[in-house]
Structure 1
Amino acid sequence: MAVLKVAILGFGTVGEGAYRTIISHGDELAGVLGKKVEVAAVLIRNKQKKRDIAPDVLLTTDFEEILQLPQLDIVIEAIVDKEPTFTYLKQAIERGCHIITANKEMFAHHGSELQELAEKNNVSIGFEATVAGGIPVIQTLRQLLKINRVQQIQGILNGTSNFILTEMREKQHSFAESLAQAQKNGYAEADPTNDVEGFDAFYKTMILSRIAFGEEPEWPKVERVGITGITSELIDAATKLDLRFKHVASLSKEAGQIKASVKPVLVGNEHPFYHVEGVENAVNVYSDIVGRITLQGPGAGMFPTASAVIEDLVYVYQNRSARKKYAQTTTEYCEQNEEKKQELWLVQGLHDILPTVTIIDEVGNGIRVIKAAKSDLEQLESIRYFAILGEVEQKEAVVV
């Protein structure tokens, strides 16, 4: 049987998971592809570290050695940081290799350039693992966009932040205690900034925008708010209202402009994100024909992410060419101007009541549920406010 030769860059959680899955599911891959998939090389940082890798696999710290292999068909990149990974993948494409990446930061910054280079070299790019671990959101969007017009995407895209918010509510721990537990469990890095400040979810949101709308919003205009300001007091207030804090990425196209945000919001028990707990991810897609669909599953981990990588391996080989670019869509999701739309908010520190603000409920400790336009809240100083998504049970307005 003919053979496909694969190189894996990096042998951490994702790289090892991809290697082990290729070994364990070799028969299934051969059945689908008509070729046996073999790992020819693994790029590592430390040759002295013991690894469970077959002796006939090239282990090297030098990417040039991999490029010099007599046969190299697919390169799987599972490292971190923008460089040297971007350079490695450019070189692999120029060599004529299909590429697969799980590196959301690098791909958010350089995905378009890699896509153009892949088109010139008649190869394909797989990047399912950059967005939501084992959830096949990119493949789902590709399928929907054949006919459907995507109008809105919302997602819980970072398992670490979701775990912290779940811990704070379920165990009544502080943010610091919940972060420490996430680090102990291996969900958060020693420096958790990318996760808790929303950078990780932001990069994933830009990748989704490119798929859904064929373009991205201007990065500086995207509202990005982390979860570090969520206190136990706010969690308790939300729980009394049967609401839960979730760190949600949102995308829509309004008046020809891409609108995007990554921020903490509140959801009620009718919202599809209400029961998305721990390190799970979820993506809700609204399109004009099928309506709303929600995908939920593990957003990280060795085998969930390896699943995305291996599915991409099949995708890139069967599709061969990257000639099909991201679809441009003119669909707009705009019921009314967002800044003027009356919405429900959980607010803290609201003292000056504007005529256009309706108080729905008094939770206590200066925390209230109100109905107002975002533009009204932006006029007020020293308050914190969080949008409440979806339908929630409302009490009669409180008269003040």
Structure 2
Amino acid sequence: MLQIGLIGYGTVGSGVYERLSTTSKHIEQLLGEEIKIVGILVKDRQKKRALDVDAVVTTNWEEFCQIGQYDIIFEAIGGIEPAFSYTAEWLQRGIPVITANKKLVAEKGSILEKMAEEQSTYYGYEAAVAGGIPIINALKGTLMTTSISRVAGILNGTTNYMLTEMIENQRSFTDVLIEAQQLGYAEADPTDDIEGYDAWYKIRILSHLCFGEWPTEETFSRKGVSEIEDWHVEIGERFGFKIKLIGEACVSKSEVKGRVTPAFLTLTEPLANVRGVMNGITLEGKSINELLFIGPGAGKEATSNSMVEDFIFHERVKSVNRTTNLDVEEEKETIAHALLFIKHSQREEALDWVKDQKIAVIDTCDHPEGEGWIICEKNLPSPFKEYPIYGDVALRKRTKTMHSTQFGAF
């Protein structure tokens, strides 16, 4: 019998318990062995929720460790500590651990994977990225030897919901943030979502799977959505662009580069049509061209399902090590243009800046609160708010060009 330990009984932890309980017979058929959740470690405030479970429930770490001879641990508490100490303890004992903790995996994954390797066990984190989308084990399994040159995605359902509402229903940033909190999509403190941390952890994990290196926080830049103003979204819409929070990693000059940033997507870009709380991920490579994955990025059922499937996948495969290297065709430049936003009071300064930097302005759009200029991207520090454009700007909606005499013919 496989004895299972569960750390945490919040939304995800209770979902794992329910998923294992309701599908135990099917899982046992697949694994050829009986499974049983024997111990659950909870916080005091979670204990009442776990009163009716068929397992020993405790708030004491030492007692949890002594409940049974665990064969697998599910970690569902989040954060770095005590999750790191708990996970390290079991991996060093040779006991596999399954997690949905993206911050822990991004920050400590290199250490924990090394521990697992040294003890001939595994550390599974399928549910740490994009909830119900099986992207991690697709990379570990069916795409094990496939060369990837770029991975990009909409990796945070909260911000995608907010931006979708702003675009489709012309609602304000503040209004949709409050609603997202009321619906449970955003926490009372929404910093991790709106400042891009959540997506930043996830793209770092995906980068590791695609390119074989664990990126540090210094090598992947991060910009959230808190500085997006309502009129920025309106101007993007006039051009026919959709604004999204994009996480991206690619190989450039034999180095892995990555970032999280708001970006405008033309309607021909596959991720432009990922709406609401859904997540979307694209993989690009010479032999696959482009693969698109779309699905729920969070939620009790989706996340717990991914954790259980991750357990079954690893138990059946046991050793899964993706072949990765940087000897791949480098990603062609994906960002050729950007959308620059200037307030009316900044107009003369902006004219001088594009002239001094020899930056071509392709098109402009006027708005009561300012102007939006489509410029040729030169990767220069900008004194104005600027967001990249993904896709072919030639396919944009045509707006009435403003101030053409200053820029010349468009």
TM-score (norm 1): 0.92
Equivalent residue letter for 1:367: E
Moved more, 156-165 or 213-222: 213-222
- State the distance in 1 between where 2:95 and 2:170 align: 50
Equivalent residue letter for 1:327: T
Residue aligning to 2:338? 345
Moved more, 386-395 or 98-107: 386-395
Residue aligning to 1:330? 327
Match of 1:363 among 361, 365, 369: 365
Equivalent residue letter for 2:95: C
- State the distance in 1 between where 2:150 and 2:228 align: 26
Which residues of 2 match residues 1-40 of structure 1 at below 5 A?
A: 3-40=1-38
Equivalent residue letter for 1:157: L
3-state SS in 2 of match to 1:165: helix
Which residues of 2 match residues 1-400 of structure 1 at below 5 A?
A: 3-46=1-44, 49-51=47-49, 54-143=52-141, 145-321=143-319, 324=321, 327-335=324-332, 343-349=336-342, 350-352=350-352, 353-354=354-355, 356-365=358-367, 366-375=370-379, 377-378=380-381, 380-381=382-383, 383-392=384-393, 393-394=395-396, 395=398, 398-400=404-406
Give 5+ residue unaligned stretches, structure 2: 343-349
Contact 1:47 1:60 in 2 (8 A): no
Change (3 A) 1:361 1:226: same
Contact 2:240 2:267 in 1 (8 A): yes
- State the distance in 2 between where 1:34 and 1:54 align: 28
Contact 1:41 1:57 in 2 (8 A): yes
Contact 1:40 1:57 in 2 (8 A): yes
- State the distance in 1 between where 2:138 and 2:46 align: 41
Equivalent residue letter for 1:26: S
Change (3 A) 1:109 1:326: farther
Count of aligned pairs between the two proteins = 390
Flag as ranges the 4+ runs of structure 1 deviating above 4 A. Answer: 52-55, 394-399
The percentage of counterpart residues that share the same residue type is 33
3-state SS in 2 of match to 1:7: strand
Contact 1:90 1:114 in 2 (8 A): yes
Moved more, 110-119 or 45-54: 45-54
Q: 1:332 Cα shift?
A: 4.3
Give 5+ residue unaligned stretches, structure 1: none
Deviations 1:320-342 (A, max 9, x none): 357x3763332242435x8xx7x
- State the distance in 2 between where 1:80 and 1:46 align: 16
Moved more, 311-320 or 224-233: 311-320
Deviations 1:338-367 (A, max 9, x none): 8xx7x2221111333327333222211332
Equivalent residue letter for 1:348: F
Contact 2:249 2:258 in 1 (8 A): yes
Q: 1:189 Cα shift?
A: 1.0
- State the distance in 1 between where 2:23 and 2:371 align: 53
Contact 2:141 2:322 in 1 (8 A): no
- State the distance in 2 between where 1:176 and 1:373 align: 30
Deviations 1:1-48 (A, max 9, x none): xx2111111111111111111111112211211112211111111267
Equivalent residue letter for 1:189: E
More helix by share: 2
Change (3 A) 1:72 1:305: same
RMSD after superposition: 2.1
Q: 1:239 Cα shift?
A: 1.2
3-state SS in 1 of match to 2:162: helix
Change (3 A) 1:245 1:15: same
Moved more, 280-289 or 58-67: 58-67
Residue aligning to 2:347? none
3-state SS in 2 of match to 1:274: helix
Q: 1:399 Cα shift?
A: 5.0
- State the distance in 2 between where 1:63 and 1:230 align: 44
- State the distance in 1 between where 2:131 and 2:244 align: 18
3-state SS in 1 of match to 2:363: strand
